Homo-oligomer: A and B are copies of this chain.
Amino acid sequence: MADKNHELRDKGLRLTPQRQLVLEAVRALGHATPEEVAEKVRATHPGINLSTVYRNLETLENVGLVQHTHLGHGGATYHAAEELTHLHLVCGKCGSVGDAPIETAAPFVNTLIDEYGFKTDVTHFAIYGTCANCTAKS
C-alpha cells in the first residue's frame, strides 16, 4: 500500500483523497466519462466537486497515469494507462465498447507510417461501427 501511495507522489503530485479516488475510479471503471467517474467517486465520498474530477483527470493525464479518448459521441472517456492494451470497438447502435488487441491493427498502422508518415496513436484509437450483437438484431 505504501508503494501505491508513492505512485502519485513519485509523479510530483500531492496525495489527496480526491485524487486517489479519481484514479481508483478510473481503474475500476475501465473507461468512463468524467461524469461517470464523478458518480463513482461520490459513492464513497459524496462531497467531491465535478471540477475537482475534471482537474484531476487532466492532472493524472499529464503525468501519464490515465489517458482519454473520444469514442465518437460527445464527451471524452478516460481510462487507466495500464489498460492501454486494446483497441476500442465502439458500436454506433447500442453504444457498447468492445475490445480487440492492438496487434490487430499493427499491419494497418505500419502501412500508414510507411505510406503517409502518419504515426497512429493506438492509445487514442477508437473504431466506429456496428457490433456483432446489433448486426444480428437488424
A28 to B103, CA, bound (A): 38
A116 and B92 contact, CB distance less than 8 A: no
CB distance from A84 to the nearest CB of B (A): 13
How many copies, total?
Answer: 2
- Chain B's closest residue to A89 (CB) is B118
Contact status of A115 and B100, CB under 8 A, knowing A92-B124, A121-B130: yes
**Residues in B whose Cβ lies below 8 Å from that of A124:** 72, 92, 128-129
The contact of A118 among B107, B111, B116, B129, by CB within 8 Å, is B129
The distance from the CB of A4 to the nearest CB of chain B, in whole angstroms, is 31
Query: Closest CB-CB distance, A66 to chain B, in whole Å?
Result: 16
Overall SS of chain A's interface? mixed
Is A104 in the interface zone, CB < 8 Å from B? Answer: yes
Residues of B contacting A121 in the complex (Cβ-Cβ under 8 angstroms): 92, 128-130
Tell me if A130 and B118 are in contact (CB < 8 A).
yes
Given A108-B108, A125-B127, A126-B128: 19 more A-B contacts, CB < 8 Å:
A70-B70, A70-B73, A89-B116, A91-B118, A98-B116, A98-B118, A100-B115, A104-B108, A104-B112, A104-B115, A107-B107, A107-B108, A112-B127, A117-B135, A119-B135, A120-B128, A120-B129, A121-B130, A126-B126
